[in-house]
Chain A
């Protein structure tokens, strides 16, 4: 396989030719869709008047919940989310009315003419407020192993604490967007920037009250998604579809940046309470966690996210007695949702903070404590939910990265530096990640594909996965080329389309290439079997051989070849032509489901993951004690992607994921005022990492020679796991703060470690 091809859209990207939803040419009948949303976090809608807005010239429709022909519902899992608010609004940014007009300006004028009479209700915004009000979004969940209470009593030392992590905005460059075109009668065609075309199709059908076979959803590519378009792209799509159906004209909604940030959910803020028991040697024996997340006003994916958080409180460590409770709290904020890592980052930073604390209590280096607690290879290798940690690369990674990063030498250099400097301190930290790959809702682990060969020998591959920049289509293209034994330029990956491949899962949970790659391979195998049968019969006939077994037929270098008699070869193109004449089908569907998964929510045990991905990072920072500024001097990453299908793409995912995690750990901060207005609703005040924020010296390597037997072409998923390696930076900052006090005091530092939070943390330690 050619592993080193460029992103299949690279040339289109750099020339501006790649088409996103807002770039699709539409005729002059196109209307602009506009969403009128609540400006109150919690209020009753006593009355409203749309008359004046409807009368405004250029306005084609003004819709409220009463105008929804189908079901007023767009919750993806739990059906608790109205498409348009009825009697009550529960967060600022909740959609109430929809306007279709001839221009953006007309829509805004119409919005000014809408009168709403609210009765403002008390709001709950934070986890603490929600806990006080006992405002759970749903039942709490538990996973237990061993005997936590006894273990806590029997261990040498116990630490207790609380830990906060903040919200994170996805900040996909392309905001939520959908263009709907009306077809015949009920038909609707939606070009949506969605990670989950099937769910978008489902919800459009439901709100419109039509069958799913009337709705086609197509996704060429997204301008970034990161989980933010897993469920919440559905909203924009449903709204555009309603307006399209109501007006009979094409309608496009593209959210403005500020509206997008205000209306859509974020990474869940967590409040984590813990009790950890360990030996004087620093071996963890007991961990008791209470995970509290701010779910927002409705469920969205909060429970699945909490579940993944609960699965990852161990991160890389064997903890024989572990109890974790997960509680999702309801608040008057937009529903928080999937974001790369899906609950795992919050859980992992919590356990890493605990290890860091233990190291400080014992006056040992945290890297050693980490290593001593890693899952074992043959013993100490069962997770708290009962899954064995197979093919554990943690020890290999640790040995390699401590060497390649010269961790111990740098640690002592840093200690020396810190002795000599008062206002500048350095810090270093190593952090691992072990990330479970699979949707934890087991049935979602399925995928479909549809592959055609045309008579000129070109191949069109359709699959259920969506392209959001992660290079899925490129990898699929490589897989298809390798399976067919043809050059990649023969293959085209079509836009993802629900009429080509139905009933798909979201492109999420890092499973895109695992699931769809297998489904595509399955379709190709079907076609290859037909062609191999046809070719072997031909070889037999033309060469008067006794028997040619189709299994002896190879697809290689644009030829179809007899394995044992390589002189018997015929070009792929010729075979295609003659197979068509011989009335052989060159189109097939493919399907895949991940085998051997089982997970029993009720008893909290099973095998939820197909395999684990591992990675490790060492980061060094320099902190200006007076301003809280920090510079990442160097980051080393060694990451496990199995046999990489495309090393450039995988390294890109690692670098990009790390930097996105860095934003969550350092500069990205969401604040709300007392009324529930998001204060950081644009990049003016919401700061994702810029070019100068990346490590000065950034070394990323892939772990070599560790094939993964459980996935396509022995590869591993890579989308989410590297994000959590950025925790090494957060820990290094903490180490630098701790150095001010000669590592004798435990810094209390939340995520994100903004320079403000760093200064406050230092101030608290001084007092």
Chain B
């Protein structure tokens, strides 16, 4: 299905200016550490729930495995039935919970996630906040809860806990939300009863003028609890399943060598579906989401380096006003709950035929950095994706970063998406386009990358060639559509028919023209 394996991780760092990563990690791939640390791995996870540290030792607690989802864990507890399962694939948000993570600024940062997509180890070192935790100890409703009552924001009530948790995350965020922010915060929550009107009203009522809540009052206590939890590597072996959470790239490469068939995850919003929908066991997993060296964005002279484990939420925040097409793409990619988990490395590693990120990275002339024990190599994204869900990443390598060259002046990069619904919908067809015009409105260079049109995301080389050197005109672009039609043989599936896909791809190209034409 959609999305990206990703890491959930350390958005502990999200509020910190991104440049710090570059400064801290002179050599982020091989932090100096003794390998003995790998051996002293922990077999249990700890997190804060209901104001206390909760621990799960997978060797003792047979009800859970490392790939038990947080949703199923919560529903197995007697007092956390408020979190609901609506779809078990991150599309409805009824299971939304909020994770509190300790930042470098010693503050707790709150992020909404779909608990059906989060494996238990991803909770390690974090605070898990559920709908049951929102009322004050004196039974007063949280402002977002009260607003939902006041605006008649619930009807059947089944989506409501998830909606309230999304509103809570919005409440705890730094922003004073506009209608657009509110829609973004709620795009991962489906409600079938209300038509959303009163929910938006509740968000406006509660989140525009925020007051301190009991979470602000408790923050120090919770921080202390979180600090008590040791952030060492995790090696969770249950007999049937090995789940590793290494803390460095080096450690990960070692593990990869030892377990060559291990599934690598970093966010796991896609891989989680193999558990929740296909009931797969996933015997060996390396979860990269705890490696801080794999997180962060650094601005270089001619390019920007995005570490592979950076969440899409962080990238979206960073891209705003910097990489417009990237920002636009990420606003219609998944939902807040998904973007808070999903990572860029995870996404491109899936080599999904549809992916929105890959076609756009092609338009950006992006490079993928692969790292092994011995060397580091860079591949153009086109060369990185080699087939249907296949990449050039070797068994001794990991994706460490994506490098986006800064677009030259007078070039245009745009992203277009054709999907049934605007938000939280996988593209039927997506297009990442690049254009450089020479004098007299002639096409100097063009890249047309499509998702959803073939077995993997790829460029329309013949169409590009047809356009290169010619006038950038409606007529020529319309003619290019006939080349495009021959260049792809899309399938008919649940999302659209082949004819519709071709038509959409042709029209996206026309749209690109209409938005870049020189009159």
Residues of A within 8 A of B (CB): 6-7, 9-20, 22-23, 25, 105, 108, 170-174, 221-226, 256-258, 423, 468-471, 624, 626-629, 648-649, 652, 655-660, 667, 669, 671, 679-680, 682-685, 687-694, 698, 700, 754-756, 759-760, 763
Contact = CB atoms under 8 A, between A and B. Distances in A.
A692 B187 contact: yes
Interface in B503-517: 503-504, 507-508, 510-511, 514
A684 B91 contact: yes
Contact of A224 (B2, B192, B196): B192
19 contacts: A11-B141, A13-B148, A13-B154, A14-B146, A14-B148, A173-B156, A174-B86, A223-B156, A626-B507, A628-B418, A652-B152, A660-B192, A679-B493, A683-B190, A684-B2, A688-B190, A690-B424, A756-B420, A760-B503
Contact of A226 (B192, B197, B510): B192
Given A6-B149, A691-B196, A20 B190 contact: no
Contacts of A629: 422
A18 B510 contact: no
Interface stretch (B77-85, B216-224, B225-233): B77-85
A172 B86 CA distance: 9
Given A671-B494, A694-B196, 16 more contacts: A14-B148, A18-B157, A108-B279, A173-B159, A627-B416, A655-B197, A656-B192, A660-B192, A679-B494, A683-B86, A685-B426, A692-B187, A693-B423, A700-B197, A754-B496, A755-B419
Nearest to A23: B81
B251 interface: no
B81 A656 contact: no
Interface stretch (B129-137, B287-295, B441-449): B129-137
Nearest to A752: B420
Contact of A174 (B84, B88, B508): B84
Contacts of B132: 15-16
B198 interface: yes
Nearest to A257: B87
Contacts of A225: 156
B493 A20 contact: no
Contacts of A223: 84, 156-158
Nearest to B151: A648
A12 B135 CA distance: 11
A470 B416 CA distance: 39
Given A10-B149, A223-B157, A16 B82 contact: yes
Given A174-B156, A692-B187, A423 B87 contact: no
Contact of B187 (A108, A256, A258, A691): A691
A16 B161 CA distance: 6
Give the size category of B's interface with A: 35 or more
Contacts of B508: 626-627
Contact of B86 (A6, A7, A257, A669): A257
Interface centre among B158, B160, B277 (most CB of A within 10 A): B158
A759 B149 CA distance: 42
Contacts of A667: 420-421
B183 A759 contact: no
B192 A173 contact: yes
A691 B416 contact: no
B177 to A, nearest CB: 13
Contacts of A659: 194-196
B205 interface: no
A648 B131 CA distance: 25
The 7 A-B pairs with the shortest beta carbon distances in the complex, nearest first, are A16-B82, A469-B156, A223-B158, A13-B157, A659-B195, A16-B131, A469-B155
Interface in B92-146: 92, 94, 130-132, 134-135, 141, 145-146
A173 B187 CA distance: 16
B149 A756 contact: no
B284 interface: no
Nearest to A223: B158
B187 A656 contact: no
A692 B192 contact: no
Contacts of B424: 690
Contact of A692 (B183, B198, B514): B183
Contacts of A10: 148-149, 152, 154
B425 interface: yes
A173 B92 contact: yes
B189 interface: yes
A224 B88 CA distance: 18
B450 to A, nearest CB: 14
A222 B495 CA distance: 30
A548 B117 CA distance: 70
Contact of A20 (B158, B193, B199, B419): B158
Nearest to A17: B82
A173 B514 contact: no
A464 B1 CA distance: 42
Given A15-B82, A258-B277, A655-B197, A755 B156 contact: no
Nearest to B163: A14
